[in-house]
């Protein structure tokens, strides 16, 4: 039985993992992260509100879209953790399978993550991974080399103040709080376009991590392209910055939307996309620039939709400009309430991981 098979974000969806909000914590300060708000466990009220919306998403996908939904284990990430290299008073949470796990065809990779608080996060998916491994005889289960996350892996002089001039210079020079001591990447930095994987070097992926991925998939004919968005002063996870909406066909180019506040670097656009079958256009604006209190993401979670097929998407119900735009492209929108989940590290795309989509791996860059 084939369970794991996914090559892009738009083929018809058949099986998905949706995260959980339980035991979710804002991590403490560590070399790779400075919390923008008080750290510690999210309130039960916020956790429950998000759980209702995530459970509703599960219901919608199951009943309206005929998709099999799996959920991670509810591990108590409010617990401390200790390794030979660091110790933590508490951890993070398993709301975002997209951040941790990367599906490349029949392979699921547990990626390194880049912050200590997320070191053990993929354990929440161990039962699911085991189950897939037993039932799907072709499934490849990979763990990217576990980093030490020792102090030496971080640039302690990183300017955390997002508004200072120094910060701009660091980001424009593609320098972040993580350095190149060991390979690091979060799965959510990878945008999958069939044989081409677009990866953002960022606060959660370094060049060595991207190089690890390149060598790992090379023999299967994948190409890994590194990409930058120099105006993004907190580059983290590509899925609210660049997102595919429609694939290329013989008749027309495919469409990728780019957050207009974080345009793709000119040289990357030329190098990767010039002469290709892809058109890059500005993403429609969020309905409001106000995010729920304690949300750590930007309003551009409006771009963070889930395509359930080439002509159908699940979108947060208040993101009207996005909905209108998708419908103008002939993509029908299933509207779900999802704003309470924005406090849990992201939106509909972050909180899900498509495990199986009906389709093959194509070269969309001939
Ligand atoms: N960088 C994004 C923003 O704040 C958040 C992306 C969240 N994505 C994710 N996979 N967790 O706009």
pLDDT in tens, 302-352: 999 999 999 999 999 999 999 999 999 999 999 999 999 999 999 999 999
Cβ atoms of residues 104 and 222 within 8 Å: yes
CB hemisphere CA count around 120 (13 angstroms) = 17
Location of structure tokens 């991981």: 353
The pLDDT tens digits of the residues spanning 130-182 come to 999 999 999 999 999 999 999 999 999 999 999 999 999 999 999 999 999 99
Is it the case that residue 366 has pLDDT exceeding 90?
A: no
- Measured in Å, residue 33 CA sits from the centre of ligand 1 at 15
What is the rounded average pLDDT for all residues in the chain?
Answer: 98
Would you place residue 290 in the very low, low, confident or very high pLDDT band (cuts 50, 70, 90)?
A: very high
Residue 188 corresponds to which tokens in the numbers above?
């959510």
Question: Which atom of ligand 1 is closest in space to residue 234's alpha carbon?
Answer: 1
The 68-70 sheet, strands edge to edge? 68-70, 13-18, 352-357
Residues taking part in catalysis: 186, 237, 350
The two beta strands, 68-70 and 13-18, are parallel
Would you place residue 297 in the very low, low, confident or very high pLDDT band (cuts 50, 70, 90)?
A: very high
Cβ atoms of residues 107 and 140 within 8 Å: yes
323: phi then psi, degrees, rounded to nearest 5 = -60, -45
In sequence order, what are the residues at sequence separation of 6 or more whose Cβ sits closer than 8 angstroms to the Cβ of residue 177? Answer: 31, 32, 33, 154, 155, 158, 160, 203
Nearest protein Cα to ligand 1, atom 12: 298
Location of structure tokens 């299933």: 334
Nearest protein Cα to ligand 1, atom 7: 346
Is it the case that residue 275 has pLDDT exceeding 90?
A: yes
Work out the average pLDDT over 15-33: 98
Residue 348 corresponds to which tokens in the numbers above?
């509909």
- What does pTM read for this prediction? 0.98
DSSP result, 287-329: S-S---TT--S-GGGGG--EEEETTEEEEETT-HHHHHHHHHT
Residue among 237, 291, 319 whose CB has most ligand 1 atoms within 8 A, to mutate:
237
In sequence order, what are the residues at sequence separation of 6 or more whose Cβ sits closer than 8 angstroms to the Cβ of residue 41? Answer: 23, 24, 25, 78, 90
CA 145 → CA 2, 105, 212, 215, 361, distances in Å? 26, 20, 9, 13, 26
Start-to-end C-alpha separation, the chain:
31
Work out the average pLDDT over 199-227: 98
Angle at 289 between CA 241 and CA 322, to 5 degrees: 60
CA distance 303 to 239: 7
Cβ atoms of residues 363 and 108 within 8 Å: no
The pLDDT tens digits of the residues spanning 226-239 come to 999 999 999 999 99
Residue 214 corresponds to which tokens in the numbers above?
């390149």
The pLDDT tens digits of the residues spanning 220-271 come to 999 999 999 999 999 999 999 999 999 999 999 999 999 999 999 999 999 9
CA distance 114 to 184: 6
The two beta strands, 87-88 and 81-82, are antiparallel
Nearest protein Cα to ligand 1, atom 10: 350
Residue 357 corresponds to which tokens in the numbers above?
């989509």
Is it the case that residue 298 has pLDDT exceeding 90?
A: yes
CA-derived radius of gyration, the chain: 19
- Measured in Å, residue 304 CA sits from the centre of ligand 1 at 8
- Measured in Å, residue 342 CA sits from the centre of ligand 1 at 10
């Amino acid at each position: 039985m084939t369970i794991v098979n996914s090559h892009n974000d738009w083929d018809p969806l058949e099986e998905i993992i949706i995260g959980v909000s339980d035991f979710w914590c804002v991590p403490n300060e560590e070399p790779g992260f400075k919390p923008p708000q008080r750290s510690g466990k999210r309130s039960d009220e916020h956790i429950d509100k998000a759980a209702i919306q995530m459970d509703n998403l599960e219901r919608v996908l199951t009943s309206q879209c005929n998709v099999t939904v799996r959920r991670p284990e509810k591990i108590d990430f409010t617990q401390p953790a200790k390794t030979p290299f660091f110790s933590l008073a508490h951890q993070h949470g398993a709301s975002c399978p997209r951040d941790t796990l990367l599906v490349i065809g029949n392979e699921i990779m547990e990626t390194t993550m880049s912050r200590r608080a997320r070191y053990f996060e993929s354990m929440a998916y161990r039962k699911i991974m085991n189950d897939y491994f037993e039932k799907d005889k072709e499934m490849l289960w990979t763990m990217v080399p576990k980093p030490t996350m020792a102090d030496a892996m971080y640039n302690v002089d990183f300017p955390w103040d997002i508004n200072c001039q120094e910060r701009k210079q660091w980001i424009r020079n593609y320098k972040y709080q993580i350095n190149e001591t060991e390979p690091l990447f979060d799965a959510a930095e990878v945008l999958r376009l069939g044989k081409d994987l677009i990866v953002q070097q960022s606060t959660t992926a370094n060049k060595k991590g991207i190089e690890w991925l390149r060598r790992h998939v090379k023999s299967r004919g994948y190409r890994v392209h590194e990409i930058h968005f120099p105006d993004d002063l907190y580059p983290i996870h590509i899925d609210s910055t660049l997102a595919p909406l429609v694939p290329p066909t013989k008749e027309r180019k495919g469409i990728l939307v780019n957050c207009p506040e974080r345009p793709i670097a000119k040289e990357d656009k030329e190098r990767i996309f010039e002469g290709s079958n892809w058109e890059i256009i500005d993403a429609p604006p969020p309905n409001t620039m106000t995010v729920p209190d304690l949300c750590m993401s930007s309003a551009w979670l409006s771009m963070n939709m889930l395509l359930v097929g080439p002509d159908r998407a699940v979108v947060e119900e208040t993101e009207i400009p996005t909905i209108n735009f998708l419908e103008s492209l002939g993509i029908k929108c299933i509207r779900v309430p999802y704003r309470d989940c924005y406090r849990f590290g992201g939106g509909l795309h972050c909180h899900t991981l498509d495990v199986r989509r009906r389709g093959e791996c194509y070269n969309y860059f001939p």
